[in-house]
Amino acid sequence: MTVFLCVGILAPSPITAAELLVGRPALPAEIAAWDIDARPDGKGLPPGQGNVKQGETLYLERCAACHGEFGEGAGRWPELAGGAGTLAHDRPFKTVGSYWPHATTAFDYIRRAMPFGQAQSLQADEIYALVAFILNLNDIVKDDFVASQDNLATIKMPNAAGFYDDDRETAERGFWVANPCMTDCKPPARITGHAGAIDVTPDSKTAPKME
């Protein structure tokens, strides 16, 4: 009886948040404040609009210090414009115009992460204006373009066809289900050089003498 009594006392019992008085269920308004993703089909975009001219003014005030006046990138900060036809090069320039497949991604990223150090400080109209200007820098829209909740997802990006759905679950399934090699899978490594000169490789009687 004593043994069973000890087991019963020591057995762990489920502990709830209410018992620990830690946290509470999130309120709908609190969840909504974090639910700010803008999807390729336009879902998640808030009401608002902004034109290229408005975006240019905002860009020069809030963005050009890092990204350059024409989106060329200042110093080692990312470039936002240019790079057309470079994706197959050894050093491709992955900009909004040359690489990004959806215009809504620009809105999403600016909304949640920009300006650097002041994330989520911009209003929806300001973000639409900035996106309009950046698209204009990349010759994707005209000077009189007005970006809005209704048209941003319809913008055809130059590299839209450069992306495809991740189909590894089916296309690469054969690599996953094959019987793994367990013995003699690879030939032993052959050491062709030693780092003894910088005291990385321990001394060895059979290793080449390092001066």
For 94-110, the pLDDT digits (tens) are 999 999 999 999 999 99
pLDDT cut 70: percent of the chain above it: 82
pLDDT at 118 over 70: yes
Binning pLDDT at 50, 70 and 90, where does residue 14 land? low
pLDDT at 126 over 60: yes
Predicted local confidence at residue 186, as pLDDT = 84
| Average pLDDT rounded to a whole number, residues 190-203 | 65
Q: How far is the C-alpha of 187 from the C-alpha of 38, rounded, in Å?
A: 50
Predicted local confidence at residue 15, as pLDDT = 63
Q: How far is the C-alpha of 130 from the C-alpha of 109, rounded, in Å?
A: 12
Predicted local confidence at residue 200, as pLDDT = 62
* Residue 100: both structure tokens together: 């990004």
Predicted local confidence at residue 91, as pLDDT = 94
Binning pLDDT at 50, 70 and 90, where does residue 204 land? low
pLDDT tens-digit map of 56-100:
999 999 999 999 999 999 999 999 999 999 999 999 999 999 999
Of 61-65, 98-102, 146-150, 176-180, minimum mean pLDDT range = 176-180
Residue 50 phi/psi, 5-degree rounding, is: -165, 145
Q: How far is the C-alpha of 124 from the C-alpha of 50, rounded, in Å?
A: 9
pTM of the model: 0.71
Binning pLDDT at 50, 70 and 90, where does residue 207 land? low
Q: Among residues 117, 132, 134, which one has the least CA distance to residue 64?
A: 134
Q: How far is the C-alpha of 54 from the C-alpha of 61, rounded, in Å?
A: 11
What angle is formed at CA 125 by the lines to CA 123 and CA 126, rounded to 5 degrees? 65
Binning pLDDT at 50, 70 and 90, where does residue 197 land? low
- Computed from CA positions of residues 83, 87, 92, 95, in that sequence, does the dihedral angle turn out positive or negative? positive
Predicted local confidence at residue 164, as pLDDT = 86
Q: Kindly list the structural domains of the chain, giving each domain's residue range(s) and its CATH number in brackets, ordered by start.
A: 50-164 (1.10.760.10)
- Whole-number Cα distances in Å, 161 to 43, 85, 102, 171: 21, 14, 10, 19
Of 26-35, 95-104, 105-114, 162-171, minimum mean pLDDT range = 162-171
Q: What is the mean pLDDT of the chain?
A: 88
Q: How far is the C-alpha of 195 from the C-alpha of 118, rounded, in Å?
A: 47
